[in-house]
Amino acid sequence: MAQTCPRCARVNPPEGWFCYFDGTPLRNHGGRRPAGTPERVQFPVPFVFPSGKTCRDFDQLALACLDDWSAALELVQSGDLAAFLGALGRADLAQAAREAARFPDRDRGLDQLLARLPTQTLKPPKLQVEPRQVNLGQLRPGQDQHWELHLANQGMRLLYGSVTCMDCVWLALGESPGTAQKLFQCLHETIIPVQVRGQQLRAGTKPLEGRLLVESNGGTLTVVVNAEVPVQPFPEGALAGARTPRQIAEKARAAPKEAAGLFEQGAVARWYQLNGWTYPVQTEAVSGIGAVQQFFEALGLTAPPKVEISEKEIKLEGQAGEEVRHTLEVKAQEKRPVWAHAASNKPWLKVSQIKLSGRTATIRLAVPEVPDRPGETLKARLTVTANGNQRFVVPVTLAVGGWGLPSRSKVVLEAVAPVAKAAPEWLPEALPAGKPAEALPVARVTTTRPEPVLDVLPAPRSSWPGWVHVLPVVVLALALLGAVVRDMFQKEGLPSPGPTTALLDPNPLIGVGFHDRPDEEIDAPTMRFGLVAVREHDPRNPSRYKRLTYDELGRTNNTCLRLDNEERL
């Protein structure tokens, strides 16, 4: 008679001991026990789960743990399962249950306990991966994609392991941005997100191939990922149709003047970026034929010429507010184009222009406005980079002369209404036609001194003698002397100010120090204060009092704190 599985309700043959589909023990089995299968031992007292499910032997206990995994975790953590196994006389299993409760990963701890139960019901985990091969088709650099990797457990117990991208930087695991490796564990199935990093895609003639290695306690499998990233040809100009950097170089050598404009405008750099490649020229593109020479040197197609700089040191002079200019040259001994870049580390020194002319590169420097620091000598460094990344560091000094710039304060002037022109009282008469003009008499100029308008009179002399002006000072001095003598003789007869208030604590505990004068550390007094304990000494320096602030005179604002009975400064 056929048997029905109590767990999945599927039909099994009459001679079966366990369900063919899920391994559950069959109750109404027939025939003999399979060879090597231990006899099922019934519990003296059944173990009942919080859900009411009853377990009468280890097979049922193992299956119940799989069916209600969360409840089994709580039973292990609470110690109820360890106590039950200890009551059965299985001290080894009780110890295993306690170790599972202390395991950092609760799921892994329970799985290790199930592996030690004396049961043949639980099958080992078995890994299944879908899909095993992925074809992403054609991709473009910068285009991101994502897909999912399905992992399933065809066996029983806990399936755990890791997924790793094998030497494949354009694939990542997990949510964006993703990582190169991701851990997993599950009872039945789980999903691993896979990201395609568009920034890591590189165009090429061969298809891309990546591998994902899935390692677990249920086996190891490999997933193959294929994709194509076709090369985008150069779209315009003398370099149109080129598909590789070498073809770009060949076309640029054939038409250097036409290609120089494309390099200078950055069209070649954008084409590199379109295909996901790294542009070999790391510095700023230069102008003219030098841009082609710069590209050839970066690819290693030609050796850079040896260049020399005209000045090893630059000395400039100028008045405050003036504009100063200077010219520097970079020359090559060989007959090859020279390119150069220059940068200053100070804002007052500017690189106004770089002119390339065959074997010479002219660098024009400018100080737009000499800083208003008369009498000082300013220093800067000019870094010049030329063919083959040859670098020169030129020191630049600027001597500032003059007395400084005049004040530029604004003066506000009030608008005044325009004064109306008065009509002339008379107009010159026109001469009769044909009559010549008579010459005017010339007055003789005399150089005699004019008479004074006011007479200068001497100041009148005072009628009072000189000692009279000293008399008020003498009177004030006598009054002050009298007040001092009076206080000296009447000091004992003054009334008592009253009883003095006694100190609350005649033995002080805290001393206060003020930073009220300059010292070696701080030039000006900060008027801060510091605190010390006058009854205790510093454990590190017994000659000093114990500090309650970082500095005895309060030159800092840090306060001593006590954390966990440990004082920290």
Q: Is residue 423 part of a domain?
A: no
Tokens of 473: 């000072």
pLDDT at 425 (0 to 100): 43
104 and 49 belong to one structural domain = yes
142 and 83 belong to one structural domain = no
3 and 60 belong to one structural domain = no
Residues 6+ apart with CB under 8 A from 380: 344, 345, 346, 348, 349, 395, 396, 397, 398
Domain end, chosen from 122, 156, 180, is at: 122
Residues 6+ apart with CB under 8 A from 141: 198, 199, 201, 202, 203, 229, 273, 274, 275, 276
Counting the structural domains of the chain, the total is 6
pLDDT at 397 (0 to 100): 93
Q: How far is CA 427 from CA 423, 433, 440, in A?
A: 10, 18, 18
Q: Is residue 485 part of a domain?
A: no
Query: In this structure, are residues 335 and 321 in contact, taking their beta carbons and an 8 Å threshold?
Result: no
64 and 140 belong to one structural domain = no
pLDDT at 242 (0 to 100): 92
30 and 43 belong to one structural domain = no
What residue numbers bound the domain in which 241 lies?
237-299
Q: Is residue 457 part of a domain?
A: no
Domain end, chosen from 299, 321, 337, is at: 299
Q: Is residue 267 part of a domain?
A: yes
61 and 139 belong to one structural domain = no
Q: Is residue 483 part of a domain?
A: no
Please give the Cα distance from 297 to 392 (Å, whole number): 18
Cβ atoms within 10 A of the Cβ of 326, count?
17
25 and 42 belong to one structural domain = no
The tens place of each residue's pLDDT in the chain, 569 residues long, gives 688 787 777 888 888 878 888 777 776 554 344 555 555 678 889 999 999 999 999 999 999 999 999 999 999 999 999 999 999 889 999 999 999 999 999 999 999 999 999 988 888 999 999 999 999 999 999 889 999 999 999 988 999 999 999 888 999 998 878 899 999 999 999 999 999 999 999 999 899 999 999 999 999 999 999 999 999 999 988 899 999 999 999 999 899 888 888 988 889 999 999 999 998 888 777 777 888 888 888 888 888 888 889 899 999 998 888 899 999 999 888 888 888 888 999 999 999 888 888 888 899 999 999 998 888 899 999 999 888 888 899 999 999 987 655 544 444 445 445 544 444 443 444 444 444 444 444 445 444 455 554 454 555 555 566 677 778 888 888 888 888 888 777 655 455 444 444 555 677 888 888 888 888 778 788 888 888 888 888 888 888 888 888 888 888 765 666 667 776 65
Query: In this structure, are residues 188 and 196 in contact, taking their beta carbons and an 8 Å threshold?
Result: no
Length of the chain: 569
Domain end, chosen from 401, 417, 441, is at: 401
Please give the Cα distance from 351 to 151 (Å, whole number): 62
77 and 104 belong to one structural domain = yes
312 and 344 belong to one structural domain = yes
Residues 6+ apart with CB under 8 A from 222: 211, 212, 213, 214
Find, among 395, 398, 369, the residue nearest to 384 by Cα. 395
Backbone angles phi, psi at 272, to 5 degrees: -60, -45
Q: Is residue 427 part of a domain?
A: no
